Structure 1
């Protein structure tokens, strides 16, 4: 076994042992069953020593030992470093928000404050119909675009079918590729993809809160095609099965891989559904299926394009909360004002932040970084070429700093 393969195997086994201390750490694993630790939990301090030793070993390999696998080794080294930081967190040793972003996810996002978001709110204030305070007015207006619970499966199935059809035009999927959808509740997230291996996923949708019409495409593409389901299936096929690179048989949630996983799942929505095509599909197909008046779509989507500019609000709130600059109630008020979410939804979002901390950056900055990386790689306006480079990135993952180096 070559030296990089040995490091990869040790990384997987280390990750599984860390996962004994945190049930959310290992998000997916489809490697050898016998690699699961059989004994009692390894003490965290011992795991940190193992991680440090692996990091040092990765730095000491010679050019002859790594041959043409420099990029693969860089990926592993960055993940060893992240593992060390996560062990520190499990030991109660926390960093400030920005330092944690860099240590866990290999990147630091841009920072935006109230002044930036106030400009966006002013534009929304001029667009949202009605009178009174913006949050209440916005949520009242938006209630007209909720998918009725009894129509949710039908609308979501149509969105999945369209997302899959568009993805299949650009990539071949295994014959046994499939996923099931479950409706759940009492979760801090709105949806989750549990990849089980062998090209199969379980996708859960949280029904605690109303599902708005635009979320059907968001969730079908983000969780399914060409998002998490395709990302994991691509890694399993091309890297684990074809190349035997076992570090990709495990997906650690609080790791640099998540920046690409969430970022590509979010940007994959735009790859599969260019804006005007998406608007037309939702207006002509999904609106009628949901029993929503398609004639109301024009203003709704004008508002949606502006609303997207509030995506970094989560980062602002998470940063201040993690840095102990604000308490829970202040965080909720900020979310209500700047994310325009209801109080109940804001409390759920704060629960997500408390549980996942700086992970929030993987959605917004992850998406923007993937977008910038692909724009740098695509030299023409061909949408087919965008698809090709996008799928190539999924099959050959890069961390945040690795993508940044390729952006000119």
Structure 2
């Protein structure tokens, strides 16, 4: 990565015609994203460039048709660029795919309808696999065997899982310990920016369980939604996903390596509905596995988090077994969203699917469908993104020695977190 960064610095300082031309497109891309953000309040997830550009976007509020014209021109210009080295190729590919997604989002804001797969291909550069109900019911049957007793599975599952809810008065203690452990394990392999920091807040009435609001200068606001019960496994899930080595580290490394060291201004703005999100969410989810192996996680939760939460550590192994099995149902989220957003499921049918097929907690099913309404095909970024990041990282772990292979995985993971690679580049 050091060599790659040095090459990037040399490229920018040399002021070659290619660098200047790509830099021009990058500036136009940044302005276009800010302009679209005036029509979609959720679109710009993070921005830490010059305040004057954002102020100008607010003041002018360009019509969508004018923004589209600018984006189309930028797409034509970036298509003419020829890369002189792998760094340039990645940057050109990034801008090309991001601009395509900007245009697709404009189309959607103007009322154009895409199929679920068309939408995710345009916005996230990927298409999720399809599975029918029978595929998931076979997994549900395995869960049914694991949780014996009388009554419907959902009732038995709810009763069993109730033993793993973190009491609200212990949330901060548990999350502080979790995030600290995620950070410590990440810092063994990643040199974090010296000034990096975050603030943790507990909120409610949100369509998500956790969120990282990146503020720039290696600082994040991490929010955890306490509207519904928070199960013990979510402490490490969210600590790693939102913090280390997830969103906080991803954004901090992009800012440090690409914005500050190379002046690649396109990375100072993050449009939520774009290919960046598959990498962001996928790496944040896979980051949990990077920080903790299954055995390490069980050990830490059983010895540290369960006691802090006031839960029975003896139950941890069986709960881990259940969660590992239920993880196989993750793509039910994508398939349910597809059926709902394409009109084949009503809201009630989508909730039924999530409860009985995805084994989602009944009290949270309406919240999940509201997430589909708000973010549509974004759901694929979590599970498909995780699987694609995993495949990319594991390809680099060729050592037979487990410790050496782990270092190789972290090296590949760090490369992904601080480069302009998108879904197409993971295959």
Normalising by the smaller structure, the TM-score range is over 0.9
- What is the alpha-carbon distance in structure 2 between the residues aligned to residue 241 and residue 178 of structure 1? 17
SS of 2:221's partner is strand
SS of 1:28's partner is strand
Match of 1:277 in 2: 296
SS of 2:60's partner is coil
Deviations 1:313-363 (A, max 9, x none): 110111001111111111111111012223320000000011000000000
- What is the alpha-carbon distance in structure 2 between the residues aligned to residue 79 and residue 115 of structure 1? 36
2:40 is matched with which residue: 6, 22, 26?
22
C-alpha change, 1:175 and 1:61, in structure 2 (3 Å) is: closer
Match of 1:220 in 2: 239
**Structure 1 residue 86 corresponds to structure 2 residue 105:** yes
- What is the alpha-carbon distance in structure 2 between the residues aligned to residue 68 and residue 297 of structure 1? 46
- The answer on whether the counterparts of 1:18 and 1:47 sit within 8 Å (CA) in structure 2 is yes
Match of 2:383 in 1: 364
C-alpha change, 1:62 and 1:261, in structure 2 (3 Å) is: closer
Cα displacement (A) at 1:38: 4.6
**Structure 1 residue 5 corresponds to structure 2 residue 23:** yes
- The answer on whether the counterparts of 2:91 and 2:420 sit within 8 Å (CA) in structure 1 is no
- The answer on whether the counterparts of 2:38 and 2:58 sit within 8 Å (CA) in structure 1 is no
Cα displacement (A) at 1:146: 0.2
Cα displacement (A) at 1:377: 2.2
- What is the alpha-carbon distance in structure 1 between the residues aligned to residue 351 and residue 370 of structure 2? 10
Cα displacement (A) at 1:378: 2.3
Match of 1:203 in 2: 222
Within 5 Å, give how 1:146-157 maps onto structure 2: 146-157=165-176
- The answer on whether the counterparts of 1:260 and 1:397 sit within 8 Å (CA) in structure 2 is no
Consecutive unaligned residues of structure 2, counting only runs of 5 or more, are 1-14
Deviations 1:184-206 (A, max 9, x none): 11100000000000010000110
Cα displacement (A) at 1:86: 0.3
**Structure 1 residue 376 corresponds to structure 2 residue 395:** yes
Cα displacement (A) at 1:61: 2.6
**Structure 1 residue 49 corresponds to structure 2 residue 69:** yes
Match of 1:345 in 2: 364
- The answer on whether the counterparts of 1:315 and 1:360 sit within 8 Å (CA) in structure 2 is yes
**Structure 1 residue 385 corresponds to structure 2 residue 408:** yes
Give the count of matched residue pairs: 403
Bigger CA drift: 258-267 or 343-352?
343-352
- The answer on whether the counterparts of 2:83 and 2:92 sit within 8 Å (CA) in structure 1 is no
Cα displacement (A) at 1:130: 2.6
Match of 2:53 in 1: 35
Cα displacement (A) at 1:63: 5.3
Deviations 1:227-274 (A, max 9, x none): 000000000000000011111111110000000000000000000011
Cα displacement (A) at 1:67: 9.2
Match of 1:253 in 2: 272
SS of 1:277's partner is helix
Cα displacement (A) at 1:20: 0.5
Bigger CA drift: 45-54 or 363-372?
45-54
Match of 2:9 in 1: none
**Structure 1 residue 401 corresponds to structure 2 residue 424:** yes
Bigger CA drift: 36-45 or 191-200?
36-45
- What is the alpha-carbon distance in structure 1 between the residues aligned to residue 202 and residue 227 of structure 2? 10
Cα displacement (A) at 1:28: 0.4
Q: Which runs of 4+ in 1 moved over 6 A?
A: none
- The answer on whether the counterparts of 1:139 and 1:341 sit within 8 Å (CA) in structure 2 is no
Match of 2:150 in 1: 131
Note the aligned Cα RMSD (angstroms). 1.3
Bigger CA drift: 334-343 or 267-276?
334-343
TM-score (norm 1): 0.97
Deviations 1:137-165 (A, max 9, x none): 11111000000001110011010111111
- What is the alpha-carbon distance in structure 2 between the residues aligned to residue 10 and residue 279 of structure 1? 48
